Amino acid sequence: MLYFLQQLINGLTLGMMYGLIAIGYSMVYGIIGMINFAHGEIYMIGAFISIIAFLLLGVLGVTWIPLALLLVLLIAMAFTAAYGWTVERLAYRPLRGSFRLAPLISAIGMSIFLQNYVQLLQGANVKAVPPIITGGWILAEQDGFAVRISNVQIMIILLTLVLMAIFSWIIANTPLGRAQRACEQDLKMAALCGVNVDRTISLTFVMGAALAAVAGLMATLYYGVVDFFIGFLAGIKAFTAAVLGGIGSIPGAMLGGLLLGLVEAFWSGYFTTEYKDVAAFSILVIVLIFLPTGLLGKPEIEKV
């Protein structure tokens, strides 16, 4: 039972990060119907910017951890968002109205480019970050086995919940969120209502990238190691999460992320760590075969 509880905590933490990345995939797919395969790299860039920001703040003498964390969070979100915006502007917008596969190919190219760009700039070796948030809590103890939740895990779970609340509120209540939903439901009609569609799409990339940056920061704090290749696996996992939840659906992305995190944690805990990726991707295959619209997705047909 305690062991189960421990895996639950680990799985939730992992799932929160997957969910944050998955939202970026889902929103972009919802509006322009493309899979942004460079999104995993955006997350990786978010992680690198977090490290650089930590180092800079250290040099500047900002050592009070809560303040440093807040600043790093804001810096990472802002700069990563700029990357997201630029990627859309350079690699996808010129191809709008082109054949359906074109932006997809461009996205794969962008993904390879960004990996190599970071590799050249930062080097190929793994960057280790000393633990910044330390400590934790023992929730229960029995027969020498203790269920622990670290402060990093608490921070990850709480921060994700707060961001999700803010983000859902934006989508549900602001003119920007309404415009995004309108674009998602009927791009042409949104334009006929006077929505600046290009700007709305840009802002969608910006929001998705900002959330991925937060996941990048969390990964930095949680794992303590970052390299130029982490975006690949995380990206595909988050994509799996988005498909599992129903691509195009934002609550679906979060739910898919959580489920995927839990599956991975339980698989690692009860079977074998080596095959946890196999378990994750088996889900992708099974969902695509038996439930192509995902858990919360809607079928394509919606014409009057």
Partner 1 sequence: MLEVQDVHTHYGHIEALKGVTLEVRRGEIVTIIGANGAGKTTLLMTICGDPRASAGRIRLDGEDITHLPTWEIVRRGVAHAPEGRRIFPRMTVLENLKMGATVNGEQWFEEDVEQVFALFPRLKERLHQRGGTLSGGEQQMLAIGRALMARPRLLLLDEPSLGLAPNLVQQIFRAIVEINRSRGLTILLVEQNAFQALRIAHRGYVLATGEVVLQGTGRELLANPEVRAAYLEGGH
By CB under 8 A, name the binding residues for partner 1.
Answer: 175, 178-179, 181-182, 185-186, 188-198, 302-304
Residues 6+ apart with CB under 8 A from 120: none
Beta-carbon neighbour count of residue 227 at 10 Å? 18
Q: Is 129 exposed, middle or buried (0-12, 13-18, 19+ CB in 10 A)?
A: middle
Cα–Cα distances in angstroms (integers) from residue 62 to residues 53, 57, 208, in the given order: 11, 5, 28
CA angle (63 as vertex; 59, 66 as ends), nearest 5: 130
What stretch of H or E contains 150?
strand 145-150
DSSP readout, 222-241? HH-EE-TTHHHHHHHHHHHH
Residues 6+ apart with CB under 8 A from 133: 65, 69, 150, 151, 152, 155, 221
Tokens standing for residue 231: 């975006």
Nearest to 152 by CA among 180, 175, 124, 131: 131
